[in-house]
Structure 1
Amino acid sequence: MPRRRSYDQYCAAARALDTVGDRWTLLIVRELLAGPRRYTDLHADLPGVSTDVLASRLRDMERDDLVTRRKLPPPAAAVVYELTPRGAGLLPVLTALAAWGAPDLGEPGPTDAVRTHWFALPLLRTLGERVGAGAGTVEVRLSAAPRSTFHLHLGADHAKEAAGAPGAAYGEGPAPAGPDAVLTLDAATCRALCGGTSLFADAMRDGAVTVEGDGPLAKALRGE
Structure 2
Amino acid sequence: MSPRRSYDQYCSAARALDVVGDRWTLLIVRELLAGPRRYTDLHADLPGVSTDVLASRLKDMERDGISTRRRLPPPGAAYVYELTPRGRQLLPVLQALGEWGEAELGERRPTDAVRAHWFALPVLRSLEGEGLVEVRLEEGNFHLHVGAEDGPVYGDGPAPGEPDARLVLDSGTCEAVARGELSVADGVRDGRIEVTGDGTLAKVLREG
TM-score by length of 2: 0.95
Per-residue CA shift, 1:193-216, capped at 9, x if unaligned?
221212334322321111111221
Alignment pair present for 1:138 and 2:130: no
Amino acid at match of 1:174: P
Long gaps (5+) in structure 1? none
State the partner residue of 1:84.
Answer: 84
Per-residue CA shift, 1:42-91, capped at 9, x if unaligned?
00111111111111000100000001011111111110000000111100
Amino acid at match of 2:38: R
Give, in angstroms, the shift of residue 2 of structure 1.
Answer: 4.8
Alignment pair present for 1:195 and 2:207: no
Residue among 138, 146, 150 paired with 2:142 = 150
Per-residue CA shift, 1:177-201, capped at 9, x if unaligned?
2211101111110111221212334
TM-score by length of 1: 0.88
State the partner residue of 2:35.
Answer: 35
Amino acid at match of 1:208: R
**In structure 1, the residue corresponding to 2:126 is in which secondary structure?**
helix
State the partner residue of 1:74.
Answer: 74
Amino acid at match of 2:169: L
Query: How far apart in 1 are the matches of 2:26 and 2:91?
Result: 10
Query: How far apart in 2 are the matches of 1:222 and 1:7?
Result: 49
State the partner residue of 1:6.
Answer: 6
Alignment pair present for 1:208 and 2:203: no
Query: How far apart in 1 are the matches of 2:198 and 2:13?
Result: 43
Query: How far apart in 2 are the matches of 1:83 and 1:177?
Result: 24
For residues 157-172 of structure 1, the aligned pairs below 5 Å read 157=149, 160=150, 165=151, 168-172=152-156
Where relative contact order (Cα < 8 A, 6+ residues apart) is larger, the structure is 1
Alignment pair present for 1:180 and 2:172: no
CA spacing shift, 1:219–1:53, aligned 2, 3 Å: same
User: Would the aligned equivalents of 2:123 and 2:184 in 1 still touch at CA under 8 Å?
Assistant: no
Give, in angstroms, the shift of residue 101 of structure 1.
Answer: 1.2
CA spacing shift, 1:2–1:141, aligned 2, 3 Å: closer
**In structure 2, the residue corresponding to 1:141 is in which secondary structure?**
strand
Q: How many residues align?
A: 208
Give, in angstroms, the shift of residue 111 of structure 1.
Answer: 1.4
User: Would the aligned equivalents of 1:126 and 1:194 in 2 still touch at CA under 8 Å?
Assistant: no
State the partner residue of 2:59.
Answer: 59
